[in-house]
Amino acid sequence: MGSQSSLLKSFYHAFEGIKTAFKEEPNFKIHTVIALAVLTLAFFLNFSVSEWLLLLFTISFVLIIELVNTSLEDIVNLVNPQIHPLAKKAKDVMAAAVLLSAATAAVVGSVLFIPKLLEVIR
């Protein structure tokens, strides 16, 4: 029973983390809203199983990187509230990771959606 309780607590804390990120992090909220819109459009465009898998992986990748970025920023601020060159470097590199993941998602989205949307237009 103890391990089941521990597992439930782990899920509880994970969902608390998602809820906190959504409430407190504007970029996470933006990524989530865009993801929901993209998933809705994919549903109406009748994506194949492989297209769904690629889309879900890409969305998850962006959201995970955003969560890691938030965690790193909070840890850096906790350890060193003053502006330090290494703290700035860590934050800038993590922000670059978020930017790169979002740019990659835009490319993947374009590859998946443009042909389908052109098909609907024709």
Residues designated catalytic:
66
Q: Are 83 and 122 in contact (CB under 8 A)?
A: no
Question: CA dihedral in degrees (86, 92, 94, 95; nearest 10)?
Answer: 160
Nearest to 68 by CA among 100, 40, 41, 111: 100
Q: Are 98 and 66 in contact (CB under 8 A)?
A: yes
Residue 88 CA to residue 16 CA, distance in Å, equals 28
Residue 105 CA to residue 113 CA, distance in Å, equals 12
